[in-house]
Amino acid sequence: MELLLNEQPLLCRNLIEVEENSLSENTDKIILFEQTPIPKAVAKLAIPTILSSLVMVLYNLADTYFVGMCNDPIQNAAVTLAAPVLLAFNAVNNLFGVGSSSMMSRALGCKDYETVYKSSAFGFYCALLSGVVFALLCGIFHEPLLYLLGADANTAAATGEYLKWTAVFGAVPSILNVVLAYMVRSEGSALHASIGTMSGCLLNIILDPVFILPWGLNLGAAGAGFATFLSNCGALLYFIVLLYKKRKDTYVCLRPDKFTLERHIVMGVCSVGIPASIQNLLNVTGMTILNNFTSSFGADAVAAMGITQKINQVPMQIAMGLSQGIMPLISYNYSSGNHKRMRGTLSFTVKISQGFLCAVAVLYFVFAGPLTRMFMDNEVIVGYGIRFLRGFCLGMPFLCMDFVAVGVFQAVGMGRYALVFAIMRKVVLEIPALYILNYIFPLYGLAYAQLTAEVVLAIAAVVVLVRFFKKLEKS
């Protein structure tokens, strides 16, 4: 039997061994999900996830920072204009990462290990195929894509070079390392997921100045793209090695023979993943519209908008990381029927997230100027940035309930509710607000569209969650 195990393909524990040893090998995970005090359990799961989410922002922040050191608005604008394409990766990440991890966590709560294996294999191979298709489409439709992103004669070349490395060559490693992080996190190994993501970020920070700055290869935006590509490859390699070494102790199964199109697997993953993916595509649409509006005011305005968006993403990703971090805990206890622990987890998370976002909003409003100047010491760009950042930060206190509610919906398999919130956020509220506010207050009104959406969604989230838990109590 031992010989056969050693000869198996990578990354999956023998099913017989799982059934015989699952209780002993996974005692710590069961204790974490069922018995550990809520603050401690949330911290153990959420802190690594927060770090992972923060690291994803640091990828882009590093690119923006080092490209900004070139003091060339065109190079900085290129990174900003390409952002919707990189954000579009998250559509695939959410479809197969969020979808598979939610299915895996719910199956673990029911002790249905076969479903866990099949869900992870399905998510991985579908993500791999999607990454290949994404890369091919970006390569074939290069010119129309640049036009769609709002690039003009001045910014097209730099934007194209950045996209070549981050999208054409980089789609597969970028997507796979995020999807694998979701899967590893779903079985309670949040620390390993965080380490994998952070390893890529650290590599990016090291490589960026070498490829971007004049004292290095002086490649500007193209160098930033190349550094991002290499760092994503590094993160993916970490997860492959990790899963190989843990192949007897992990529920993440990447064996080709476990890939299946069984209806309950496909529907279980897609019922959560598709709404999460659509949510992201709507975010891409909103960002593209925002960048197109901003580009009509020149490269300086685009650079300032890009910088302030990246700064604004830091607390947003921390709050989102917190909501995603508790998803395995919510999923597990929902499936096992421990609704009291679910409610306690949610209440604790809301208090922490709300306090943090309110504090950051105040700091951003007061220090908008110095924060913008960190990325580019250009008075015109800093002037734009101050007004943009102060507009963005006003929406922060309302993000908490929106993020937490969507996290709960995804965790318990209520993907349609997450989709409704996504449609409300972008189609009904934020995108119309971009058009209206830009008409009333040209350029500067764009920064207040997020506030318009999040106020309404925060109220809706409270109403829906209260009704959801009342329904659970009656069931």
**Cα separations in angstroms, 155 against 86, 214, 288, 294:** 17, 20, 15, 14
Q: What span, in angstroms and rounded, lies between the C-alpha atoms of 253 and 251? A: 6
Q: Which residues contact 249 (CB under 8 A, 6 or more apart)?
A: 13, 25
Judge whether 152 lies within some domain.
Answer: yes
Nearest to 325 by CA among 63, 32, 80, 16: 32
Query: What confidence score (pLDDT) does residue 18 get?
Result: 40
Q: What is the mean pLDDT of residues 166-191?
A: 84
Q: Which residues contact 359 (CB under 8 A, 6 or more apart)?
A: none
Q: What span, in angstroms and rounded, lies between the C-alpha atoms of 337 and 343? A: 12
Judge whether 178 lies within some domain.
Answer: yes
pLDDT tens string 329-354: 888 888 777 788 888 888 888 888 88
State the chain's mean pLDDT as an integer. Answer: 80
pLDDT tens string 395-446: 888 888 888 888 888 788 777 887 888 788 888 888 888 888 888 888 888 8
Q: Which residues contact 153 (CB under 8 A, 6 or more apart)?
A: none
Q: What span, in angstroms and rounded, lies between the C-alpha atoms of 28 and 260? A: 30
Judge whether 244 lies within some domain.
Answer: yes
Query: What confidence score (pLDDT) does residue 475 get?
Result: 66
Judge whether 117 lies within some domain.
Answer: yes
Per the CB < 8 A criterion, the answer to whether 279 and 136 are in contact is no
Using 50, 70 and 90 to split pLDDT, how confident is the model at 309?
confident
Nearest to 346 by CA among 361, 365, 333: 333
First to last CA, the chain: 46
Q: What is the mean pLDDT of residues 269-285?
A: 78
Using 50, 70 and 90 to split pLDDT, how confident is the model at 28?
low
**Cα separations in angstroms, 298 against 15, 73, 201:** 59, 10, 31
- Residue range of the domain that includes 327: 38-474
Number of domains in the chain: 1
Q: What span, in angstroms and rounded, lies between the C-alpha atoms of 330 and 338? A: 9
Judge whether 216 lies within some domain.
Answer: yes
Using 50, 70 and 90 to split pLDDT, how confident is the model at 133?
very high
Judge whether 5 lies within some domain.
Answer: no
Per the CB < 8 A criterion, the answer to whether 416 and 403 are in contact is no
Does residue 394 carry a pLDDT above 50?
A: yes
pLDDT tens string 148-159: 887 777 778 888
